[in-house]
Amino acid sequence: MDSPDSGGNQDKKRLACPSGPCHEGGSVIGVMTEQGRLAYLPMPVVMDAAFVAGLQEAGYPERRYRFSRPCVESACSQWTGRGCAVVDHVLDEPSDGGCAGHRPPVEPGGSRPTCGIRRDCRWFAQRGSAACLICPTLVAEPAERPDTETRRTPARHTR
Ligand code: SF4
């Protein structure tokens, strides 16, 4: 279901995953700061093989940057059949029990960040500005085998 403020675009074109793996052909969309919030690049920066290799060599690039790539929908383990489970999980799960660590603080009156992929973003198309308010605090934790299956745990947030 499209979010009311998403422009209703999620079924009309190939959307972009805002928290993908560090792969050649993907794009860097932000850099995680020491304060645990993502600093967004004004435009995505497409990565070549050498750039990816450098990030991989330094270790855990998904914890230090945020990457985007085309949403692969059913080829992703987070696909629900209608959308991305990561953003739904973070926004919808209660803040108790096992979900406590996944619910970032959304401060009333906060403004959404400026990012370079909003027009195509899967999370924005799915949940609108609510996704943008929690987006800067989320960090992907890739599994041992990053690939087209995108075996990642739901994004966690850092403080
Ligand atoms: S700030 Fe919003 S539009 Fe940009 S990547 Fe995050 S969820 Fe998507």
Q: Considering the domain boundaries, does residue 4 fall inside one? A: no
Ligand 1 and 123: CB distance under 6 A: yes
Residue 64 · residue 28 · CB < 8 Å: no
pLDDT per residue as tens digits for the range 96-142: 333 333 445 555 457 899 999 999 999 999 999 999 999 998 888 76
Q: Which of 29, 112, 127 to mutate to test the pocket of ligand 1 (most atoms within 8 A of CB)?
A: 112
Q: What is the CA radius of gyration of the chain?
A: 15
Domain around 54: 16-157
pTM of the model: 0.81
Find residue 139's DSSP bridge partners: 156
* pLDDT value of residue 96: 39
Ligand 1: nearest atom to the Cα of 87: 7
The answer, yes or no, to whether residue 157 has pLDDT greater than 90, is no
The count of structural domains within the chain is 1
The answer, yes or no, to whether residue 73 has pLDDT greater than 70, is yes
Q: Considering the domain boundaries, does residue 6 fall inside one? A: no
- How far does the centroid of ligand 1 lie from the alpha carbon of residue 117, in Å? 7
Q: Considering the domain boundaries, does residue 57 fall inside one? A: yes
Q: Considering the domain boundaries, does residue 7 fall inside one? A: no
Q: Considering the domain boundaries, does residue 9 fall inside one? A: no
* pLDDT value of residue 137: 87
